[in-house]
Structure 1
Amino acid sequence: MLGDRLERRAAVSLYWRIFLLNAGVLAVAVALLLGPVTVSTPILFGEALVLLGGLAAMLVINAVLLRVGLAPLARLNRAMATADLLKPGTRPTVTGRGEIAALTRTFNAMLDRLGAERAASSGRVLTAQEGERKRIAQELHDEIGQTLTAVLLQLKHAADRAPEPVRTDLHQTQEATRASLDEIRRIARRLRPGVLEELGLHSALRSLVGEFTTPRLSVTAHITPGLPHLDPATELVLYRVAQEGLTNAARHSGATRVEVHLRPMPRGGIRLLVRDNGHGLGEAPEGAGIRGMRERALLIGAELYVGTGPYGGTQVRLDITDHTRPTR
């Protein structure tokens, strides 16, 4: 393009480029007035037309030259307006030399630095969050769980000795207490995926799929055997992204079927897919759940895509290429 060719010339500051462009236009106008163009007194109609035409031509030429010269600055402005630290990889292209090229390089370096700082701070926040979840899950299991278990035993002891009308009420109270205990255990498992630490990612994903499967929602897992071993932090990100994807599908999508895929990518690495047959995202803005997934993906340098699936519905895709290790 003409703008790129002009920018690749000798490194001249933006100020001097604009000054020289205007000086050139004015020099052409003076040369015409001193040469073939003359003005009578009083001015003739034909001469007025020539002067107005020349003025219009100078303005058009000046506008075109300024637009061409400032085009890289407009591209940089658009890149600055659309930059998102949660979606890395989109950087304005540095072309030519001079002030605009230097400004573009500085802007890219600033984005890289901010992205690294955000990843570091997100890592600290997520680590603290996981620690707090673990503590709450432990307290739910040890304190409330044990208390409700003791209440169940006391209710059973009382029901065995109570008269028939009271015994029926006590049995109903037993069932309500047992349901509350099961719900607390389920919440504790979601807060702290103990199966992930004890049995690994494959078993944790299958257990997660089982938790979300209901008569109204069919959830299936498709896990390719023999996948490379991942470090614990990456496994936790995969688990949390799958958990959030299933939560969104169950609560917001209106889906009746969800598929969870964990498989290798053709050029190395691992891909997680969560697909549903719901009504899709539409025009709704990204909520805290999706932004949380982006934070986790940024933490391990993975690529996250959330959008429409190939057959409709919503698709969550997490590609991990830099954290694989040799197979056990």
Structure 2
Amino acid sequence: MVALVLAAEREHDGLYAGAMAVLSRLPLYWRVCLINGGLFALGTLALVVTPATVSSRAVVSEIVVLVVGLLAILVANAALLRSVLAPLDQLSATMPSIDLLEPGQRLRVRGHGPVVELIASFNSMLDRLEAERAASTRRALQAQEAERQRVATELHDEVGQSLTVVLLGLRRALDAAPPELGEEIRSAQETTRTSLEEVRRIAGRLRPGLLEDLGLISALTALTSEFHAYSKIEVHKGFAPGLPDLSPEVELVVYRVAQEALTNVARHAHAHLVELSLSRQGSAVALRVADDGIGADRIVPASGIRGMRERAAMIDGQLSIRPRVGGGTELRLLVPSQVAERAGS
């Protein structure tokens, strides 16, 4: 007898699972129709098999029975439809917050059916979009760096050498010129010398030669010195010992983010002090640029911040900008451990 009961239960469970599998493969429209139709059929069956009747002039007890039955149907319908349509609400609530510069945002996929398939397709679409954006960003930034290198080379080799020739010519002219023209020639010399220094400074910002020749820490040290020279803002820098070796690509991203962060401080922060450090945070490498200026809540996102986020995303880094303890703004770039390990291998 027990065996028959267990067999009947297994058969019932199998039929239920089969019915749910068939239902989950139906389009959403037909699933809603079947759910509503099934509930209405159950309500009709209940009226047929039960002694419930409604008089030509309904009494209170009959109205109560009808209201309770209607509420039961509505509650059951709402519960069933919620299980089917709730993922759509989750999808519509999440879509406006998706930002490809902050990858990894995904919806949880649970159950079966067309709505779940829609969410899975949405997640797959995000995977493709993030991969395509990362690839296009990488190509764009590589092209940008190549163009910067070309311009820097032309400035150094063409404009710089031309200004050097002009300086030499002015020196010879000063030796042969009468005394009354000496002051004008010396003024032209000083202007040319200042222009030559500016050309070299611009070329150095476009193509950080120290980064290629001496490494990231030396390049950041030179960057902070140059920043202090033209902005007159005090800089405190610190570099932790034992940092892992990074690939040239990662080092360039870290350098460009630090460069853009310092430029933003000089332009917008109204700061008197900047702190720049390179350290470990767990197994990650962290760049930190903090100032005592007006604060992150008054920063208007612009192309510079967007460019830093794109560079960070290119190396799977995490960029955050938040208020600094004690006032001002703190920028932090984390290079994840797998990038650091891959770069050091």
TM-score by structure 2 length?
A: 0.81
Residues 220-242 of structure 1: CA deviation (Å, up to 9, x unaligned): 22111221111111111111111
CA distance in structure 1 between the partners assigned to 2:293 and 2:83 by the alignment = 47
Specify the alignment match of 1:236 in structure 2.
252
Matched, 1:81 2:57: no
Specify the alignment match of 1:26 in structure 2.
40
Specify the alignment match of 1:222 in structure 2.
238
How big is the shift at 1:160? 3.7
Task: Tell me if the contact between 1:301 and 1:322 (Cα under 8 Å) persists in the aligned partners.
Answer: no
Specify the alignment match of 1:180 in structure 2.
195
Aligned to 1:262, which of 278, 282, 307? Answer: 278
Tell me: higher relative CO, structure 1 or 2? Use CA pairs within 8 A at least 6 residues apart: 1
How big is the shift at 1:110? 2.2
How big is the shift at 1:167? 2.3
Task: Tell me if the contact between 1:134 and 1:191 (Cα under 8 Å) persists in the aligned partners.
Answer: yes
Paired residue total = 319
Q: Secondary structure at the match of 1:305?
A: strand
Q: Secondary structure at the match of 1:148?
A: helix
Q: Which amino acid aligns with 1:255?
A: A
Unaligned runs of at least 5 residues, structure 1: 1-8
CA distance in structure 2 between the partners assigned to 1:61 and 1:280 by the alignment = 53
Specify the alignment match of 2:267 in structure 1.
251
**Structure 1, 47-56 or 130-139: larger mean CA deviation:** 47-56
Task: Tell me if the contact between 2:84 and 2:115 (Cα under 8 Å) persists in the aligned partners.
Answer: no
Task: Tell me if the contact between 2:274 and 2:289 (Cα under 8 Å) persists in the aligned partners.
Answer: yes
CA distance in structure 1 between the partners assigned to 2:55 and 2:100 by the alignment = 64
**Structure 1, 218-227 or 64-73: larger mean CA deviation:** 64-73
Task: Tell me if the contact between 2:137 and 2:314 (Cα under 8 Å) persists in the aligned partners.
Answer: yes
CA distance in structure 2 between the partners assigned to 1:113 and 1:156 by the alignment = 62
Q: Which amino acid aligns with 2:281?
A: M
TM-score by structure 1 length?
A: 0.85
Unaligned runs of at least 5 residues, structure 2: 1-18
**Structure 1, 304-313 or 88-97: larger mean CA deviation:** 304-313
Residues 49-81 of structure 1: CA deviation (Å, up to 9, x unaligned): 875776566556544543443111211233333
The change in CA–CA distance for 1:111 and 1:310 in structure 2 (over 3 A counts) is farther
**Structure 1, 144-153 or 59-68: larger mean CA deviation:** 59-68
Q: Which amino acid aligns with 1:198?
A: D
Residues 284-310 of structure 1: CA deviation (Å, up to 9, x unaligned): 553221221222222222222233334
Larger radius of gyration: 2
Task: Tell me if the contact between 1:226 and 1:327 (Cα under 8 Å) persists in the aligned partners.
Answer: no
Task: Tell me if the contact between 1:217 and 1:257 (Cα under 8 Å) persists in the aligned partners.
Answer: yes
Aligned to 1:308, which of 323, 329, 332? Answer: 323
How big is the shift at 1:273? 1.2
Q: Which amino acid aligns with 1:153?
A: L
Specify the alignment match of 1:90 in structure 2.
105
Specify the alignment match of 1:131 in structure 2.
146
Specify the alignment match of 2:205 in structure 1.
190
Q: Where do residues 58-77 of structure 1 align in structure 2 (5 Å cutoff)?
A: 58-59=73-74, 62-63=77-78, 65-77=80-92
Q: Secondary structure at the match of 1:154?
A: helix
How big is the shift at 1:217? 1.3
Aligned to 1:276, which of 280, 287, 291? Answer: 291
How big is the shift at 1:82? 2.0
The percent of aligned pairs where both chains have the same amino acid is 49
CA distance in structure 2 between the partners assigned to 1:249 and 1:91 by the alignment = 34
CA distance in structure 2 between the partners assigned to 1:108 and 1:309 by the alignment = 35
CA distance in structure 2 between the partners assigned to 1:20 and 1:192 by the alignment = 67
